[in-house]
């Protein structure tokens, strides 16, 4: 029977090797993404297991963190994410849909409807939310967990639900005061320090 300390050593070694392979995979994906993506800023952090399509249509600002299992599907219009934004895990942003108003075939025809998605600066999108084609989310807005955003959200709004509806607004004076003191580089460092187990970072 294998001694306990040997099993423990082998277990730790396997963990180190698997972690090393995991990091290599993410490094490779980083290089591929950087070559194809339309535009990307500084201090962008992505957690593992994310999916993107049509990278050339995706534009990401500075100091953005994107949670695990997020999907950015830009097969249609462009997806633009502003500065200092946070996307919780399992968020989906989609810039295309199919034509369900066809008079030729059911449930839809082959025509793809393409619409841009724009997310302003200082926006937070809660876990499991879905942003549909053609939506603009105003600066400083908050989207509650599990929301489905089907129409534009005004600046500083707090919206939640399916479909997402504005429930209240952030304090404009407080927001502007904080925004005036905002130091992008400092914010970026805080994001990187505050998030643990970072799998994928683009500098």
The first and second tokens of residue 35, run together, are 């070559």
Task: Give residue 202's pLDDT band: very low, low, confident or very high (50, 70, 90).
Answer: very low
Least confident of 22-26, 114-118, 157-161: 22-26
Distance CA 85, CA 184 (A): 11
**37-202 is classed in which CATH architecture?**
3 Solenoid (2.160)
pLDDT at 33: 65
Would you say 91 and 127 are in contact if contact means Cβ atoms under 8 Å apart? yes
Least confident of 25-39, 70-84, 170-184: 25-39
Distance CA 173, CA 176 (A): 5
Decide if pLDDT at 74 tops 60: yes
pLDDT at 83: 93
pLDDT at 18: 67
Decide if pLDDT at 47 tops 70: yes
Distances (CA, A) of 151 to 93, 137, 156, 181: 13, 9, 15, 31
Question: DSSP characters for 43-73?
Answer: SEEE-SS-EEE-GGGEEE-SSEEE-TT-EEE
- Among 74, 162, 159, which residue's Cα sits nearest to residue 115? 74
- Among 28, 27, 25, 133, which residue's Cα sits nearest to residue 72? 133
Task: Give residue 158's pLDDT band: very low, low, confident or very high (50, 70, 90).
Answer: very high
Q: Where are the domains of the chain?
A: 37-202
The first and second tokens of residue 70, run together, are 């997020």
Task: Give residue 109's pLDDT band: very low, low, confident or very high (50, 70, 90).
Answer: confident
């Amino acid at each position: 029977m294998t001694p306990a300390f040997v099993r423990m050593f082998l277990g730790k070694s396997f963990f180190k090797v698997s972690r090393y392979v995991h990091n290599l995979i993410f490094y490779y994906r980083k290089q591929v993404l950087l070559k194809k993506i339309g535009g990307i800023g500084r201090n962008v952090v992505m957690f593992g297991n994310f999916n993107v399509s049509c990278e050339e249509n995706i534009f990401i600002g500075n100091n953005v963190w994107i949670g695990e299992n997020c999907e950015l599907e830009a097969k249609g219009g462009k997806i633009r994410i502003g500065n200092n934004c946070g996307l919780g895990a399992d968020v989906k942003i989609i810039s295309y849909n199919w034509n369900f108003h066809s008079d030729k075939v059911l449930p839809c025809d082959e025509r793809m409807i393409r619409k841009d998605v724009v997310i302003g600066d200082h926006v937070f999108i809660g876990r499991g939310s879905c942003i549909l084609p053609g939506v603009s989310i105003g600066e400083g807005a908050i989207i509650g967990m599990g929301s489905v955003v089907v129409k534009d959200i005004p600046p500083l709004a707090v919206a939640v639900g399916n479909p997402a509806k504005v429930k209240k607004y952030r304090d404009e004076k407080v927001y502007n005061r904080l925004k005036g003191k905002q130091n992008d580089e400092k914010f970026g460092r805080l994001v990187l320090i505050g998030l643990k187990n970072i799998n994928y970072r683009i500098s």
